[in-house]
Amino acid sequence: MADVDASVCQTEDSQMDPSCLGVPPGFTDLSSFPFSYLDSTGVRTLYGIPPSEFDINYHSPIARGNYLTTSIQVGLRKQFCGRNRAVNVNLGALFDLPPDIILEAFSYLHPLDLYNLMQVTKAIRNILLDRNLSASVWKNAFRRNPIIWHYPPDVPPPKWVSLLFGPATCDFCPSKNAMPDFTYRRRLCKECLDRMCFPKEIIKENVVLLDMYPNEEETLFRLVRCTYRPDGMTYPSQKHYLEQPRYWIEDVHAKAEEMTPFLKALDAGIPGAAENYDAFKAKAFRENLQHIKHARSCHLWCLGVYQSYEGGTFSMRKTTFISRASKHIIRLGYKRDEIPGNVYNHCLEYFRNVKHIRFSKKDLHKYLPELENHVLKYREDRLKCERIRNRRRASRVIAPTSLSHTVNHIHQSG
């Protein structure tokens, strides 16, 4: 999308050369041409394209959509592969059964199936959203599928499965690259994460509480949740936990407001204020620590899913693509030994930066000219090196022969 802006769209401050449009020199009135008064923002608005800040840069083809849901669906398909599937199931007949039987049947389903059922009819949705009716259903569904991380006590099961299995769309913008952040239990894309979460050194300058009570800085940030996520689609690995955490600025201000009455009571010398403040800090720290531990466990689980999917699906398709590209190069008349080793890295770089992971012959043939030029350049460099080596070898053979011929000629002349 950014390429469109750079090559097609003209900014208001830049001047377009009419000759590039086939207009005779000296003709400067471009008002009759389409989009003559539109800059990049106008073109985007005309075609309904989101603003440029929502343009997506893919660093990995698998980082698209909710890969957690995809991984679970693949596992379920493999698990039930070969079994007879019911066709044209009449869900209306389900409600002819007694409620106890319906709930018992639901309790044997996977949590992902329960999430999908909530999207089917309002009647089923109302059953699964009713805490009194569906409490045992959700509990048994998660108990029978321990691989799915259990919902925390303060989050209703329907909200939890929606966070886990819902579309990877940011809660604050139209971006579709936002996996759930379990620290804040929201979906945040990289842009919104960078816009709302900051390191302590940046946030503390804007907290009024710390202007009045600078000694409370350490206490404040110990009671606030923090995140180590590098972006909106991946999860922190061990190296990320060595970096500086980031804090949601709204969380910091909210916690500062909670602390303010206790600190003012201490300043006023109210009896028991110190004990109340200590109890508040102990409770808040305990809750925050429990929340962070749960979030870190969920992030570790999602990181494992990501790495497993990357090591399996991504690596397999990457290897297949590179193998097909090499075979096509050989079919074009090149020898196998003429394909350089860095072709692998060249293909890998292309594979990592495209916006999809599945390839067809059309995709491959579109890429072949660039790859062929790369191989052709390597062939030219190789032939050039061979010619240099042959000249040197020939010079080493000719030099002694020429020297002996010269010596013999001198002897004969003498």
Q: Are both 286 and 238 inside the same structural domain?
A: yes
Lowest-confidence pick of 9-23, 39-53, 73-87? 9-23
The predicted pLDDT at position 387 comes to 86
The predicted pLDDT at position 133 comes to 85
Q: Are both 126 and 23 inside the same structural domain?
A: no
Q: Are both 98 and 24 inside the same structural domain?
A: no
Which domain-ending residue is among 282, 309, 336? 309
Q: Are both 189 and 325 inside the same structural domain?
A: no
Across 151-156, average pLDDT: 89
Residue 191: inside a domain = yes
Strands of the 246-248 sheet, one edge to the other: 197-198, 246-248, 226-227
Residue 413: inside a domain = no
Q: Are both 305 and 328 inside the same structural domain?
A: no
Write the single-letter amino acid at 177.
N
Across 5-20, average pLDDT: 42
Rounded CA separation 52/11 (Å): 14
Q: Are both 325 and 299 inside the same structural domain?
A: no
Across 286-311, average pLDDT: 88
Here the tokens at position 59 are: 């660093």
Which has more pLDDT, 397 or 247?
Answer: 247
pLDDT digits (tens, 9 = 90+) for 241-258: 888 999 999 999 999 999
Q: Are both 125 and 11 inside the same structural domain?
A: no
pLDDT > 90 fraction of the chain, expressed in percent and rounded:
26
Q: Are both 128 and 263 inside the same structural domain?
A: yes
Residue 82: inside a domain = no
Please name the residues in contact with 334: beta carbons below 8 A apart, sequence gap of 6 or more: 375, 379
Say how many domains are in the chain: 3
The predicted pLDDT at position 43 comes to 66
277-315: b or e for each residue (b if 16 or more CB lie within 10 Å)? beeebeebeeebeebbebbbebbebbbebbeebbeebbe
The C-alpha R_g of the chain, in whole angstroms, comes to 33
Q: Which helix (H) or strand (E) holds 310?
A: none
Residue 59: inside a domain = no
The answer, yes or no, to whether residue 378 has pLDDT greater than 60, is yes
Q: Are both 145 and 250 inside the same structural domain?
A: yes
Displacement of CA 64 from its chain's centroid (Å): 6
Lowest-confidence pick of 57-61, 123-127, 150-154, 236-240? 57-61
Please name the residues in contact with 199: beta carbons below 8 A apart, sequence gap of 6 or more: 244, 245, 246, 247
Domain that holds residue 301: 67-77+93-309
Total-model pTM: 0.64
Mean pLDDT, rounded, of the chain:
77
Across 406-410, average pLDDT: 57
In DSSP terms, 137 is beta-bridged to none
Rounded CA separation 134/103 (Å): 7
In DSSP terms, 180 is beta-bridged to 187
CA distances from 42 to 4, 5, 30, 36, 37 (A): 13, 11, 17, 10, 8
